[in-house]
Structure 1
Amino acid sequence: MRLGFAVKVLGGGGLPSHDTRRWQSEPSLGVSLDRLAAILRYAAENAIDMYRMPTGLAPYASHPDLPRFRDQPARFAERLAEVGALARELDVRLSSHPGQYTVLNSEDAHVQALAVEELEVQAELLDFMGLGDEAVVVLHVGGGAGGHAAALDRFCAGFERLSEAARARLVIENDDRTFGLRDVLALSERVGRPVVWDVLHHHCHDPDRIPDREALQLALATWPAGVTPKMHHSTPKTALEEQARKVGRRVERRLVLPQLRAHADMVDPIGFEHFVCATAAGLDVDVMLEAKGKDLALLGLRDPLAARGVVLPGAVDIES
């Protein structure tokens, strides 16, 4: 079981994830790749085996009004190949996960076209890096307008607009509101692409009441032989939040309960121990940790679990 984190490096004083300058300053994929190389070395030094790259690695490459940025993957093909070779040398699995505005099943043709372009860019980056089939682009189904059947049909129509290269990188994730595991399993059969199971989303939205281990096994079965499946794990936020609002000259404050779907800063080691020893016991799966503490959340799991005899990748077995 390889463990990974997403985008930001908080440990070691922090590392920038990509070139975040605005378009007027001519941000560059070349700058982003230098930063990615530094993150890969940091990951290897800390025995971290997976990393989710920022969607904006190639700045503005999919922006419809800034076409001059679109050729960045091809323009930096040589540098992409070098960084891809570094990832393979260090054995760090890479992926990307476009956000909520990449909606392949949108009713709006323009929004769907933007999603297609974004997915093409993400696939080009992974292809130019020379990465194997484990390097995937994770996507949610999208909106549920018109009902589940119509929404899934629109996803399939959007999928057909992708190039073969982009289709070959795409994997589908269950979400926390609309499309549960059964939905994405059915969609997986239609488009022939694997399912990434998100355990917290499953706990938020599971109308079929599928037990965790069964859910994980169903998702893993969608992956082709020879490709290690991946999934997402996170702990729900439990801390109260204080909200303030101005009423006249006064400021009213109140405590607000967190939503179950909100990610905590860290990963609960007790819950993760149960996941490792029960839900995923004996199963071959890589786990992307989605915590606001990023790499610190991953590193912070090792000692508490090692003390209980559960040795995670990169940890020292204190009983040996």
Structure 2
Amino acid sequence: MKIGYACTPLLLPFKTTRRFQLKYYSEDILIKYIKENLDDLKNILIYNNSVSIKLFRISSDIIPFGSHYINTFNWSEYFKDELLSIGTYIKENNMRVSMHPGQYTVLNSPNNEIVKRSVLDLSYQAKFLDSLGLNKTHKLILHIGGVYGDKPAAINRFINTFLNLDNNIKKRLIIENDEKNYSIDEVLLIGTTCKIPVVFDNFHNFCFADNIYTLKEILTRVKATWPLDDGNIKVHYSQQNSSKKKGSHSQTIIVLDFLNYYNNVKNFDLDIMLEVKDKNVSTIKILNVINELNGTVSIDELYNELDRYKLIVLSYGEDCLSKAVSILETKNSFIDLYSYIDTLLLSNQTPPFYNYSLNRAFKEMKESLIPKEISHFNKLYKENKYIGAKEYLFKLALRYNLPIYKSYYFN
């Protein structure tokens, strides 16, 4: 079982989403942006591997204008060595990657131009994964699309378009249930008809609210759509943000809720993509929880993890930090530590000692800052621009490679 996140890690200076406006298009600019994106993709994968994250979704923006008619540049040949090097790293470290075309990639649109552009987008993303030298276990995830007032006709358009796709797209394409148009029943019907593996998204299923199946019942049916050479079942997991409207992803994965899910799915051969705001932070959290369930707890990592949460916990009061330390000393448990921190985060209140944590972070960094930087922080603080002040501290922590940049407080 692999656990992963999508696209851009938090608390790191890496991103693969650099792009520029069409009016400034030139091959020189394109080459520069592709190189920077590929360099950072490799950096992200190296980071992921260092923390045992083996599942990752690559941004569809990795190649700017990847499917646009203006981009006739042979990027796969120009960057052949770099792409194969990334692919080799993925294979050698038993990692699995995917891509997820966005909401405008729609195969069942009644508009032929939209379908044509969608096929071009899938072709570009399949080509990118092919250029890495990866087999078909590395997937492209797609929603079915719209309903357009006639769902049976829309389903038939999807099926007909799929059947006419090039094989390099077909072999990678997997389909996912969504929250309002296509239920897991409907996606399973399409997947079975077309022999397309199905991705089950628990949160979309919750939002759709159209069935009373158990997780085990759903995953048994999903598993039947996955031939062995397509790899483990892929699922998406997320939770409701308790302070926002239905359908909003949570800021972090709440451990006790995840454990209920995990106990129902752990005996299936699956990989779990977390769709959550704090991305790699929650991924590390869940990996630590699963390791503990499997009998492995690193005491050093347990204390390191509390250190990364320290400023967040302190923002709720020093007594809260004392309680967190006590949990570590008496229970040596990631699950107990995370569960306590989750109760603080779920309180949905502005942390009463937010400014205390902000000043604590500043004091830890102050000796490494020049007078101009100290002055700018103080200015932001006096003007009550606390979020701006925190963002500024994080920027400085990265610039000077100060250990505090790893603190989840800056998430």
TM > 0.5 fold call: yes
- The residue type paired with residue 63 of structure 1 is H
Whether contact under 8 Å (1:40, 1:90) holds in the other structure is no
TM superposition shift of 1:315 = 6.3
Which residue, out of 57, 62, 85, partners 1:57?
62
Whether contact under 8 Å (1:273, 1:310) holds in the other structure is no
TM superposition shift of 1:44 = 0.5
Q: Over residues 121-172 of structure 1, what are the superposed CA-to-partner deviations in whole Å (9 max), with x where a residue is unaligned?
A: 1111111111122100000000011322111111112213321111111000
Bigger fraction of residues in strand:
1
Which residue, out of 20, 41, 44, partners 2:46?
41
- Residue 71 of structure 2 aligns with which residue? 67
Q: In 2, Cα distance between the equivalents of 1:273 and 1:171?
A: 26
Q: In 2, Cα distance between the equivalents of 1:175 and 1:34?
A: 33
Whether contact under 8 Å (1:174, 1:184) holds in the other structure is yes
Q: In 2, Cα distance between the equivalents of 1:60 and 1:174?
A: 27
Q: Secondary structure at the match of 1:286?
A: strand
Q: Which runs of 5+ in 2 are unaligned?
A: 300-331, 334-411
Q: In 2, Cα distance between the equivalents of 1:303 and 1:94?
A: 21
Whether contact under 8 Å (2:107, 2:119) holds in the other structure is yes
Whether contact under 8 Å (1:141, 1:173) holds in the other structure is yes
TM superposition shift of 1:17 = 2.2
Bigger fraction of residues in helix:
2
- Residue 160 of structure 2 aligns with which residue? 157
- The residue type paired with residue 6 of structure 1 is A
Q: Secondary structure at the match of 2:30?
A: coil
TM-score (norm 2): 0.68
How many residue pairs align between the two structures? 294
Q: In 2, Cα distance between the equivalents of 1:167 and 1:87?
A: 22
TM superposition shift of 1:274 = 0.9
| Greater CA drift, 166-175 or 149-158 | 149-158
Whether contact under 8 Å (2:8, 2:14) holds in the other structure is yes
1:166 aligns with 2:165: no
Cα gap change, 1:75 to 1:107, in 2 (>3 Å): farther
1:96 aligns with 2:82: no
Q: In 2, Cα distance between the equivalents of 1:316 and 1:149?
A: 53
TM superposition shift of 1:212 = 1.8
Q: Which runs of 5+ in 1 are unaligned?
A: 240-257
Q: Secondary structure at the match of 2:98?
A: strand
- The residue type paired with residue 292 of structure 1 is K
Q: In 2, Cα distance between the equivalents of 1:315 and 1:31?
A: 37
Q: Over residues 49-108 of structure 1, what are the superposed CA-to-partner deviations in whole Å (9 max), with x where a residue is unaligned?
A: 1000000111101123x2334x32343233211110111112221000011111111111
Q: In 1, Cα distance between the equivalents of 2:81 and 2:287?
A: 37
- Residue 248 of structure 1 aligns with which residue? none
| Structure with more contact order per residue of length (Cα contacts < 8 Å, sep ≥ 6) | 1
Q: In 2, Cα distance between the equivalents of 1:150 and 1:77?
A: 42
Cα gap change, 1:127 to 1:62, in 2 (>3 Å): same
- The residue type paired with residue 2 of structure 2 is R
Q: Secondary structure at the match of 1:154?
A: helix
Q: Secondary structure at the match of 1:115?
A: helix
- Residue 31 of structure 1 aligns with which residue? 36
* Superposition map of 1:245-256 within 5 A: none
- The residue type paired with residue 266 of structure 2 is A
1:111 aligns with 2:114: yes
Q: In 1, Cα distance between the equivalents of 2:190 and 2:77?
A: 32
Q: In 2, Cα distance between the equivalents of 1:44 and 1:4?
A: 11
- Residue 275 of structure 1 aligns with which residue? 261
Q: Over residues 177-205 of structure 1, what are the superposed CA-to-partner deviations in whole Å (9 max), with x where a residue is unaligned?
A: 01011111111122211000000001111
Q: In 1, Cα distance between the equivalents of 2:105 and 2:40?
A: 24
Q: In 1, Cα distance between the equivalents of 2:17 and 2:174?
A: 23
1:310 aligns with 2:314: no
Larger radius of gyration: 2
Whether contact under 8 Å (1:53, 1:94) holds in the other structure is yes
TM superposition shift of 1:305 = 6.2
**In angstroms, what is the RMSD of aligned CA positions?**
2.1
Whether contact under 8 Å (1:4, 1:48) holds in the other structure is yes
Q: In 1, Cα distance between the equivalents of 2:77 and 2:222?
A: 34
Which residue, out of 231, 241, 244, partners 1:237?
241
- The residue type paired with residue 58 of structure 1 is I
TM superposition shift of 1:230 = 0.8
* Superposition map of 1:122-137 within 5 A: 122-137=125-140
